[in-house]
Structure 1
Amino acid sequence: MTAENKTPLLEITNLTAHYGAAQALFGVDLKIHQGETVALVGANGAGKSTLLKCVMGLVTPSGGTIHLDGQPVTGSTPATMVRHGLAFSPEGREVFPHLSVEENLTLGAMALKLRRGEQQTHLDEVYQRFAKLKERRSQLAGTLSGGEQQMLAMGRALMAHPRLLLLDEPSLGLAPKITDEIFAIIHQLSRSGTTILLVEQNAARALSGSDRAYLLANGEMVQQGQSDQLLNDPALRAAFLGAASHDSPQASRLGAAGLTNIRLEKPDMRQQNFMPAFDNAEQLKAHQLAGLQWTVRHAYEGSSFYRQQLDHAGVTPESIVSLDDLQRLPFTDANDLRDGYPFPLRAVPFEQIVRVHASSGTTGKRKVLCYTQKDLDNWTDFFARCYQMAGVTPLDRIQIAVGYGVWTAGMGFQLGCEKIGAMAVPVGPGNIDMQIQFLIDFQSTVFCSTASMALLMAEEIHRRGLADQINVKKIIYGSERSSVSMRRKISELFGGAELFDITGLTELYGPGTGIECSDHDCIHYWGDYYILEIVDPETLQPVPDGEWGEMVVTSLCKEAAPLIRYRTHDITRIIPGSCSCGNPLPRHSRIKGRSDDTIKFRGVNIYPSSLDTILSQVPGLGSEYQIHLSRDDDSARDHMRMVVERGEGVEAGRSAELIHEAVHQIKKQLLVSVELEVVDYGTLPRSEKKSQRVFDTRIQDEIV
């Protein structure tokens, strides 16, 4: 049952209120469901406080009804409303200046007639949330600062353990820094499940800190909706909130509504559409054919490697006349990139190259890719498309916890973030303490990382009991496979965050070549930037849509290092038909595994051939080994254990020496730590066929 179908916690219908002959409210309707934070925004004198006082029983409505859990409570006394689970923190704080902090707090639960022990429990809970109040528990309330008095007013309201907390202008008259503290506390209350009706003149603060909002003007509701949509709609701001700016704050029809806090200079997400303008599949195919023809000609004329490959296959640019001709083109793979080091597949002059990136993890020659400025612009645009599909807006704060430098990940996430106008928090990978500190201090709303990093963070947030202090709404992760149970655990421990699996590879620009949609049952990939084929990894023949196979990609507009039928070795399947989310772009399943022996361990690609090389350089070790990959359920960390044979005739007494040297070389050359065990020669199984050397138990349930 959706929130709309449930009985609202509070429902106000056609409410009117008068002060003598003057009417303050004109037929106001409002609903709040359990667990929501709802903002009521309007100028001074709009009727906001009157509405709260009618709900609390401090003002008797002249018409309309108020229902709590479906039961009528119109005209109830304040004490009755407290017993029903409401609490009110009034405008101007209204603390009792000649009473101590603790005496003010106890008044908040007076209507409940608590026993002494229960009252102390409520006090302890308030003091835990408001440490400053505990320090000043015996101090007279009138001697507190404005911010401390606001905390006292909120603490007094929380003494009643309210089901619905009414907050009237909590930031009124407070310095910006103190306002930050107050709204951080409001956010924590919301995360912990408290239902809040927030009245605020500061529109930016109120809308940024709420789920839904109502705009009140001259005693009437003039607009309502999701808070983020109201903030992101410039037409709505102009129509109902005015057009305040740094130079002309008075232009807002809401006067001191605080609209200068909205980042008006940033682009509107809904006016920035990064989706292609294709109406149907035929238009996409026509675009792909034109892109394929351009790519083949560009590669043939600009790359000696591709010219040789195409000539050998008997293909000329003029012979590409339909998409079916794609199958006539030769395959390329990672070996071609390494063989062409340091500038493989280069198809433009060096003076047009503005950047290089490299893949992670192999010894010897890395896979290096070149970029022209147009390549970077395209990458930035379709990465912004990923954020758009995930529902990220310019109001989000995106904490980027992936690698920077020569690797593509960090740059891709940041460029796309800045393209849509969101705030980037470029932390980079690792450093859990700093990651958590920034989540709390910066109130990041989107967290970007590998799947294992997201799980590690989720476990640590849960262990430290910080879920109600963070504001992460979405997690965008990639680079590793993830199971259904792993995703569910990450979401739950992050307080219900929505997960989006993002795909990509360095050879094809970097991350951001596709992302799952809001229906969370597929990956939409950018068919206007590359063609995706699924082939049988043994026969290299195409497989029907819906069948699992190896992903092969061909770029359509990549200049510096175009790809023609590049074997990614990732196993997936094309999902036929249209998506229920309504987006027309083609789809594939989440990555199921790989068709080669590549190991992805803590964000690093490791090739068994690299381990062969390292072990062969340690005198005394044999050639047979096994790799066991596992994941610790408690710490969410991946572990690699290697079992290696000693060489024939090598004494067992040398095992400690051999382990030390092998572990050191693996750490030095592959940048990963392993646990290594040395066993006697001939211990590990031999086979006439290819011996199984990699045992990966990290993912044990389904990926979809």
Structure 2
Amino acid sequence: MTPSPLLAIEQLTAHYGAAQALFGVDLNVVAGETVALVGANGAGKTTLLKCIMGLMPASGGQMRLDGQVIPKASPARMVRQGLALTPEGREVFPHLSVAENLELGTAALRIGRRETTRRMQSIYDRFVRLAERRDQVAGTLSGGEQQMLAMGRALMAKPRLLLLDEPSLGLAPLITDEIFDIIHHLSRSGVTILLVEQNAARALSASHRAFLMAGGRIVQKGRSKSLLVDPALRAAFLGAASEENPAASRLGAAGLTNIRLEKPDMHNQTFMPDFADQAALAAHQLKGLQWTVRHAYEGSSFYRQRMDAAGVTPDAIRSLDDLRRLPFTTAQDLRDGYPFPLRAVPFEQIVRIHASSGTTGKRKILGYTQKDLDDWIHFFARCYEMAGVTPLDRVQVAVGYGIWTAGMGFQLGCEKLGAMAVPVGPGNVDMHLQFMEDVRSTVFCCTASMALLMAEEIHRRGIADRIHIRKIIYGSERSSRSMRRKISELFGGAELFDITGLTELYGPGAGIECPDHDCIHYWGDYYILEIIDPETMQPVPDGEWGEMVVTTLSKEAAPLIRYRTRDITRIIPGPCTCGSILPRHSRIKGRSDDTIKFRGVNIYPSTIDTILSAIPGLGSEYQMHLTRDGDSGKDFMRLVIERGQGVDAGRSAELIHEIGYQVKKQLLVSVDAELTDYGTLPRTERKSQRVFDTRITDEIV
């Protein structure tokens, strides 16, 4: 549902004497967003602002504020209605001090001295340079400092809508950077802004929506990021080659020649496949399956032995159904083949290796040819594209580098897309926060635990308005719904995308959460996904939960044939609401090899996540402790859960009862629950340990 606009302008016209300046302008601003009004000199932008503020009368049309028609009013009344203007050219009072200029921002409000002092201090907190010059005469300030003063003066009125008229006018590039950084901070803190600016690239990068104006008319409107990257709109309205041929676009012909878009050749590319329908994808998969089976049979002694033992030859693969005739491959096969398992190419064709963590024994090392790396980078860039990341984004990577696949995959996919990579790596919260602030990163790549750790630290330090993260791409561990909600809220409404993958299957990036957030789209043009019953090893119908089995279609160095990933998920049949033709599965529910057997019941940790997430008043962090009584041999489960932030400890008995009831109802087992204060359970930048099973003490199980 589209929210009602804070300000709505309908068919507004304005005249200077007999000369008409505005021609039926329609424009709206929703509370909490930044809207850019872009156009050349003489387009009518400043005239529109003057009409809004009551500095000049409109000759036709109407304006509504909160749905109520605004009558003809004085600027003072408009300030009392919640509007404030930072005028073109700053227009500070040069013979008054900084403090005196700020005080004038409340002149129309008739507020007391104490409130004026409090508001002035908040301006000094936001504009430190003004605090250092509070007694200095405004006329002696630099251009950038005068612009800060003009903005501060407008903010003294605590406006619901801040009108900014040409804030970069006459400023050096470095000072312009600083001013637009302030605009970003104001937007992040919830200030609603109508930004008028000639520098279209700046304005569009700093706003949510934009209206392009020429000759007193709105000639185009839309989401700012779409206007920036859409080649057709760019050619029609922004004039990509305006210096050489300014008449090639409507705004270029009007004199708007200062548009500069970075990396223009990268805005047109897509990493999505162009299959017309599911039949075309299936034909591609069959061709890839036949190639893989022959390649593995001829190049890998391991696969030849397995296929010979199963009585299957490459010529036997005539349809996708023949996939079921092939033998399974397991993680133990990779460990047995250490250090180069499944190798199907000569060593001289292997250009890199990556490895798993090796937590259960020898590491699983996988080789990569150059084509393998190129394919991986291509579909990792596809992940970013599906998440809505563009070449204008700045992507901060907080996952491990080195022998692991994670860091390299996130960085190389980002660079392939054309976005700016900020490869900080895991850990070091202070460094991450510094880069988020200074570089103004817009995308954060991490584990779910690291995202929660950073979100809570940002909230604790009170710096949310200085953080620009709008998307979080996380993987490597499961996360509950409440944990996702908490991360998003503390990051100021950031959008979360769960990314999947494993070292054996290239690495992370094998699929990513849909923009509609109801599934994971996986790259069916690079691998085939089966879901089997881990007990019977037979395929299960679409929609039923089971173990994910993958077969690669073009992997050269270490192809996978029916590799048992141990991840539990389900195939989601039918088309996706997001419009993508690519197949999809549910978010990973658990693993077939980490099921907790408790009093005869198989329990996945994610099931506990789901139960606790549905109980209001609980936080997102918990621990499960499993113990066994030495005398009776009876197993016990103790859940230690954080109360939600701000939840009173007096509710503990009520919450403990609800936890016990829901677990008993849904899992048919009894548990002991213990609540602890919010933030007391450990957070890490890596995977948080949540299951502590001390029932089995043998060194080797």
Q: TM-score category by the smaller chain?
A: 0.7 to 0.9
TM score, norm. by length of structure 2: 0.84
Distance 1:686 1:358 in 2: 29
What are the residue-to-residue correspondences of 1:199-278 with 2, within 5 Å? 199-244=196-241, 252-253=252-253, 255=255, 257-260=257-260, 262-268=261-267, 271-278=268-275
In structure 2, relative to structure 1, the CA distance for the partners of 1:235 and 1:309 (3 Å cut) is same
1:485 aligns with 2:482: yes
Letter in 2 for 1:94: E
Asked if 1:15 corresponds to 2:21, the answer is no
SS in 2 for 1:380: helix
- How far does residue 177 in structure 1 lie from its aligned partner after superposition? 1.6
In the TM superposition, what are the counterparts of 1:617-656 in structure 2 within 5 Å?
Answer: none
Letter in 1 for 2:82: G
Structure 2 counterpart of 1:510: 507
Map of 1:376 onto structure 2: 373
For residues 46-100 of structure 1, what are the alpha-carbon distances to aligned partners after superposition, in whole Å with 9 as ceiling and x for unaligned? Answer: 1111110110011111222122112222431101100100000001100001111
Answer yes or no: is the 8 Å Cα contact 2:477–2:687 preserved in 1.
Answer: no
Structure 1: which amino acid aligns with 2:258? G
Give yes or no for contact 2:263–2:418 (8 Å, CA) kept in 1. no
Question: CA, structure 1 residues 388+230, in 2 after alignment: closer, same or farther (shift >3 Å)?
Answer: same
Q: Match for 2:104: what amino acid?
A: L
Structure 2 SS opposite 1:259: coil
Per-residue CA deviations over 1:213-258 (Å, capped at 9, x if unaligned) read: 0111121111111000000022222222222479899984464653
1:84 aligns with 2:81: yes
State whether residues 42 and 257 of structure 1, in contact with CA within 8 Å, keep that contact through their aligned partners in structure 2. no
SS at match of 2:27: strand
CA RMSD for the aligned pairs?
2.9
What corresponds to 1:446 in structure 2?
A: 443
5+ residue gaps, structure 1, are 602-624, 636-670, 678-682, 694-704
C-alpha separation between the residues in 2 aligned to 1:672 and 1:183? 37
Matches within 5 A, 1:301-700: 301-362=298-359, 365-597=362-594
Structure 1 residues 684 and 62, CA gap change in structure 2 (3 angstroms):
closer
Per the TM alignment, residue 150 of structure 1 is displaced from its structure 2 partner at its CA by: 0.5
Aligned to 1:71: 68
> Is 1:188 aligned with 2:180?
no
Deviation by residue 1:588-641 (Cα, 9 ceiling, x = unmatched)? 11111111249999xxxxxxxxxxxxxxxxxxxxxxx99999887899xxxxxx
Q: What code does the residue aligned with 2:552 have?
A: S
Give the deviation of 1:402 after TM superposition. 0.9
- Check 1:399–1:249 CA distance in 2 against 1; reply closer, same or farther (3 A cut): farther
Partner secondary structure for residue 266 of structure 2: coil
Separation in 1 of the partners of 2:24 and 2:136?
A: 44
What residue is the counterpart of 2:282 in the other structure?
285
Q: Separation in 1 of the partners of 2:595 and 2:357?
A: 12
Q: Which amino acid is 1:362 matched to?
A: T
Distance 1:239 1:177, change over 3 A: same
Task: Name the SS for the 2:194 alignment partner.
Answer: strand
Letter in 1 for 2:577: S
Moved more, 505-514 or 591-600: 591-600
**Normalised TM-score (structure 1):** 0.84
Name the SS for the 2:108 alignment partner.
Answer: helix
Shift of the alpha carbon at 1:171?
A: 0.9
The 8 Å contact of residues 16 and 28 in structure 1, kept in 2 or not, is answered as yes
> Which amino acid in structure 1 is aligned with residue 215 of structure 2?
N
State how far apart, in whole Å, the 2-side matches of 1:478 and 1:443 are.
22
Classify the secondary structure of the residue corresponding to 1:196: strand
Superposed displacement of residue 361, structure 1 = 3.6
Match status 1:168 vs 2:162: no
Instruction: Provide the C-alpha distance between the structure 2 equivalents of 1:460 and 1:149, rounded to a whole number of angstroms.
Output: 34
Partners of 1:274 and 1:360 in 2: how far apart?
30
8 A contact 2:449–2:688 mirrored in 1: no
Identify the residue that residue 607 of structure 1 maps to in structure 2: none
Indicate the SS of the match to 1:537. Answer: coil
**2:357·2:363 contact (CA, 8 Å) conserved in 1?**
yes
Q: What residue in structure 2 maps to residue 197 of structure 1? A: 194
Report the Cα distance in structure 2 between the residues aligned to 1:684 and 1:122, rounded to whole angstroms: 57
In the comparison of the two structures, how many residue pairs are matched? 622
Shift of the 594–274 alpha-carbon distance from structure 1 to 2, 3 Å rule, reads: same
Q: Give secondary structure in 2 for the equivalent of 1:520.
A: coil
Task: Give the distance between the partners of 2:435 and 2:695, measured in 1 at CA.
Answer: 49
Quickly say closer, same or farther: Cα 1:370–1:627, change in 2 above 3 A: farther
1:93 aligns with 2:77: no
Distance 1:185 1:43 in 2: 23
> CA–CA distance in 1 between the matches of 2:56 and 2:278?
61
> How far off is 1:280 after superposition?
2.5
The 2-side partners of 1:402 and 1:561 are apart by 24
From the superposition, tell whether residues 214 and 482 of structure 1 become closer, same or farther in structure 2 (CA, over 3 Å).
Answer: same
CA contact (8 A) 1:201 1:257 kept: no
CA offset digits 1:82-135 (Å, max 9, x no partner) = 010000000110000111111111111100001111111111111111111111
- For residues 626-677 of structure 1, what are the alpha-carbon distances to aligned partners after superposition, in whole Å with 9 as ceiling and x for unaligned? 9999887899xxxxxxxxxxxxxxxxxxxxxxxxxxxxxxxxxxx99999x9
Answer whether contact 1:353 1:371 (CA < 8 A) is retained: yes
SS of 2:164's equivalent?
Answer: strand
Query: In terms of mean alpha carbon deviation, does 333-342 or 445-454 score higher?
Result: 333-342
Change (3 A) 1:504 1:247: farther
Structure 2 matches for 1:4-83, cutoff 5 A? Answer: 6=4, 8-83=5-80
Relative to structure 1, the CA distance from residue 294 to residue 598 in structure 2 (aligned partners, 3 Å threshold; closer, same or farther) is farther
User: 2:239·2:246 contact (CA, 8 Å) conserved in 1?
Assistant: no
Question: Whole-Å Cα distance in 1 between the matches of residues 148 and 379 of structure 2?
Answer: 45
Please say if residues 250 and 256 of structure 1, whose CA atoms lie closer than 8 Å, have aligned partners that are also in contact.
Answer: no
Q: Distance in 1 between matches of 2:264 and 2:200?
A: 17
- Asked whether the 8 Å contact 2:392–2:420 carries over to 1, the reply is yes
Indicate if the aligned counterparts of 2:358 and 2:364 stay in contact, CA closer than 8 A.
no
Q: 1:56 to 1:586 in 2, by over 3 A?
A: same
Distance 1:428 1:394, change over 3 A: same
Using the alignment, how far apart are the partners of 1:577 and 1:86 within structure 2? 49
The one-letter amino acid paired with 2:264 is E
In terms of mean alpha carbon deviation, does 591-600 or 176-185 score higher? 591-600
Q: Match for 1:135 among 114, 124, 132?
A: 132
- Residue 43 of structure 2: SS of its match in structure 1? coil
- 2:352/2:368 contact within 8 Å kept: yes
Q: Name the CA shift for 1:630/1:332 in 2 (closer, same or farther; >3 Å).
A: farther
> Could you tell me how far 1:365 is from its partner in structure 2?
2.7
Q: Which amino acid aligns with 1:482?
A: S
Q: For the residues of structure 1 that align with 2:492 and 2:456, how far apart are their CA atoms?
A: 11
1-structure distance, mates of 2:424, 2:392: 19
1:287 is paired with a residue of what secondary structure? helix
Judge conservation of contact 2:570–2:586 (CA < 8 Å) in 1: yes
SS in 2 for 1:347: coil
